[in-house]
Amino acid sequence: MLFGLYDVLLSVGAVFPDMTTGEAGEALLDVRIVAAGAEPFRCFGNVLVEPRDAIGELTRADVVIVCDIYTPIDVPPRGRYPDEVEWLRQMHATGSLVASVCTGSLMLAEAGLLDGRQAGCHWAYRDLVRKHYPRVDLVEDSILNLASEVDGVITTGGATAWHDLALHLIARLCGPAQAIQTSKVFLLSGHEDGQRPFAAMSRPRQERDAVVAECQVWIGEHFASPNPVALMAQRSGLTSRTFGRRFRAATGHRPMEYVHAVRIEEARRIIETETGSLEDVGYRVGYEDPTFFRRLFKRTTGLSPAAYRRRMAGILRLSTDA
């Protein structure tokens, strides 16, 4: 992502003329890779990164972009990047537009720049954001969140959302024509359907409650059972009310919400990998009312089952060809 974003922004004004007239134009943006120190280092995947500047050497910029960072889905990056976090605060305070890609928004949250503001983040980290950064107004389906641009903050959700961010920044800094030309060079397009078609259910293993953990395993294999919540409560040996409280305390979800999520996740798998009738999918995952299933599926994914199949058809075709 770092180098893709770097290449795209660095090309603005220069590459499109070269591709259409044979004569390179003038690069319109001064793009720099900045890190805690200016020394080369290797990031995830052993990829060599050679910063142009250290954060202590750069005090002014029109735009600062925080690329994605890796952290487990239940562990915030608390205290891991104190110098970078303070630098982000200072850059924002001096007038820089601060933007993030994917999990880079966790850095902005650490800096307090998202407190009281709408923000996007990768769907896998939605529970982490809600738990550890409760002052952030997380918009789960967000791809390019411009709600706080007037306050100098832009966030995105999902790794390839840098495409949308890059085109927006190019249009803002260099004009819409340059954004269109850049999109033609790199074949960039937006994510109009948002994150929901791609978001999977987050089910990190919880070890706080062995009874609930056993029920999670059971429902993962028996999601189509009738009256699944009653059956889980019966297996647990608890009253329905006590089971409901313990399940929510352990997982963050009400039991039936969890069942719906597991069922829709299986329905997505069926639609993604099989070509049979869509009419049978709801019944196979536990829903006797096809209208209710279609409504729930669309509320979860943002698409009807038929539209979801069309959305994933190209990926399925590529995997089949392979």
What pLDDT sits at residue 119? 95
Give tens-digit pLDDT for 24-80.
899 999 999 999 999 998 887 888 989 999 998 999 999 999 999 889 988 999 999
pLDDT tens by residue, 255-273 = 999 999 999 999 988 998 8
Q: CA 43 to CA 49: how far, in whole Å?
A: 7
How would residue 92 be classed by pLDDT, with cut points 50, 70 and 90? very high
C-alpha 97 chain-centroid distance: 21
CATH superfamily of 2-186: Class I glutamine amidotransferase (GATase) domain (3.40.50.880)
Name the least confident of 13-22, 98-107, 115-124, 193-202. 193-202
Amino acid 260: pLDDT: 95
Task: Give which of 75, 80, 86 is closest to 132, Cα–Cα.
Answer: 75
Instruction: Give whole-number Cα distances, 276 to 205, 213, 261, 309, in Å.
Output: 32, 33, 22, 11
Q: Could you give the percent of the chain with pLDDT greater than 70?
A: 93
Instruction: Report the pLDDT value the prediction gives residue 120, as an integer from 0 to 100.
Output: 93
Q: What are phi and psi of 205, to 5 degrees?
A: -65, 125
Residue 19 scores a pLDDT above 90? no
206 pLDDT more than 80: no
Instruction: Using CB atoms within 10 Å of the CB of residue 321, give its burial: 0 to 12 exposed, 13 to 18 middle, 19+ buried.
Output: exposed
Average pLDDT over every residue of 10-30: 92
Residue 78 CA to residue 277 CA, distance in Å, equals: 48
Task: Provide the β-strand partners of residue 227.
Answer: none
pLDDT band at 322 (very low <50, low <70, confident <90, very high): very low
The answer to whether residues 284 and 293 touch, using CB atoms and an 8 Å cutoff, is no
Q: Which CATH architecture has domain 210-321?
A: Orthogonal Bundle (1.10)
Q: Is residue 219 pLDDT above 90, yes or no?
A: yes
Gyration radius of the chain over CA positions? 23
Residue 113's pLDDT is 97
- Counting residues of the chain whose pLDDT is more than 90, the rounded percentage is 65
Residues 79 and 279: their CA atoms lie apart, in Å, by 50
Closest CA to 226 of 263, 200, 266, 265: 263
Cα–Cα distance measured from residue 116 to residue 100, given in angstroms and rounded to the nearest whole number: 17
Name the pairing type of β-strands 34-35 and 53-54.
Answer: parallel
pLDDT value of residue 205: 62
Q: Write out pLDDT tens, residues 175-198.
A: 998 998 999 999 887 777 677 677
The mean pLDDT of the chain is 89
Least-confidence region, from 41-45, 170-174, 208-212, 234-238: 41-45
Q: Where are the domains of the chain?
A: 2-186, 210-321
